[in-house]
Homo-oligomer: A and B are copies of this chain.
């Protein structure tokens, strides 16, 4: 069973992330209060049902949902104002804010446990918020070694109550991880998009889906992203120098050593295979069905037709001709859960088909 979250919860910052947190918690009937310097943000969040805009008399947890540069001071303020509360945040960088809290909050720092839901949108503000924003997403929980275990537990329960899956790691490990899986991809999207400026319009008329996919996230707010990248300067700097070295390898390869280009491209293919859920989630497992094919004109077309009538989609197909025999063996690749359907349907239509 999911342990329940101790409320009331005060959300400080009613933008996309804070308002979505309020909505997700209200869905589970947690008592939520809302605060923001921009009173109109509180009003919109409140009217959408994310919580109450009144001042709470007591809170068990404060969720800081302000831009990265303001997280450290906001956590310190919250620890002082609510001496019994667990304080967490939702920002993209973790080591820097923790250092501020440790330096300024003394023993109270034990009540702070960082958090970072891996969810977002190109849109911002409380109108774009959704109670489902965190459903099924990863949510990093990043306790410092001297964090109060009860506070860590509550930060984890916040994530699961909002529908997310907890990944616990240290603040520095978190920052190293997001440098690689979030901040670098953002920079690469920006650098690809930046090169589109100043070109003739006919160049851009050749744009395809690949360009759109690579550059989609480059539209994010530059002031917010300056804070994120600047807050992770050390890890991001290391990885950007590694990318620069790869670019140098490619530049040399373009001039004189094409094999070096292939090596970089292969590292890219291997990297995409490492992304969890990427293939597993989108492509079903595939299996091969072997079909004996008489060496007569039209047989392959008849096989496609019969497979199509069975309702099974052919994902790939290889032909193995044995010159010594009048029958070829065709390897038909289909989704694994369709193998039996295909074999039965082909058998009914007179084909010899097997696994």
Contacts and interface: CB of A to CB of B under 8 A. Distances in A.
A182 B204 contact: no
A191 B140 contact: no
B177 A274 contact: no
B127 A206 contact: no
Task: Report which residue of A123, A190, A206, A236 has the largest number of chain B beta carbons within 10 angstroms of its beta carbon.
Answer: A206
Interface string A78-107: 000000000000000000000000000000
A312 interface: no
Interface string A4-26: 00000000000000000000000
B192 A188 contact: yes
Nearest to A234: B254
A185 B173 contact: no
A177 B197 contact: no
A303 interface: yes
A268 B254 CA distance: 26
A interface secondary structure, majority:
helix
Contacts of A169: 202
A205 interface: yes
Interface residues of A, number: 115
A174 to B, nearest CB: 8
A272 interface: yes
A255 B271 contact: no
Interface stretch (A153-161, A220-228, A342-350): A220-228
9 contacts: A40-B321, A46-B300, A182-B210, A207-B275, A214-B214, A222-B262, A223-B262, A229-B250, A233-B255
Interface in A249-298: 250-251, 253-255, 258, 261-262, 264-278, 298
Contacts of A185: 192, 210-211, 214-215
Task: Report which residue of A137, A138, A218, A272 has the largest number of chain B beta carbons within 10 angstroms of its beta carbon.
Answer: A272
A60 interface: no
A194 B229 contact: no
B276 A254 contact: no
